[in-house]
Amino acid sequence: MKTNDLKKGTRVLLRNGWEATLMDNMKGNRRLANVEGYVTEMGSVYSHDVMAVLPSGERVEHTPAQLACREMNQRFFG
């Protein structure tokens, strides 16, 4: 499944191991999500940090633009 196909309300697993619920139907490099980590908060997450759909665990495919965004972020932010 591609990240651009994920719909509002989809539960996902993020790269850091936290879970989130998508809160928009947008496409591209950023998505609005309700993230459950140390605390629960809503904000933007990078699409390249979405790793799997829950509860099935189906892996998510990233677009070339999303992978380029991840590479750029790693280059500038470590």
The whole model's pTM is what? 0.92
* DSSP-assigned states of every residue in 32-72: EEEEESSSEEEEEEEGGGEEEETTTTEE-BPPHHHHHHHHH
What does the pLDDT read at residue 5?
95
| 78 band by pLDDT with thresholds 50, 70 and 90 | confident
Q: What is the pLDDT of residues 3-30, one digit of tens each?
A: 999 999 999 999 999 999 999 999 999 9
Structural contact between residues 56 and 12, judged by C-beta atoms closer than 8 angstroms: no
The first and second tokens of residue 66, run together, are 């999303």
Could you tell me the residue range of the domain that residue 7 belongs to?
3-77
CA diameter of the chain? 34
CATH number at residue 12: 2.30.30
* Number of domains the chain contains: 1
Distance CA 57, CA 9 (A): 16
Whether the predicted pLDDT of 48 surpasses 90: yes
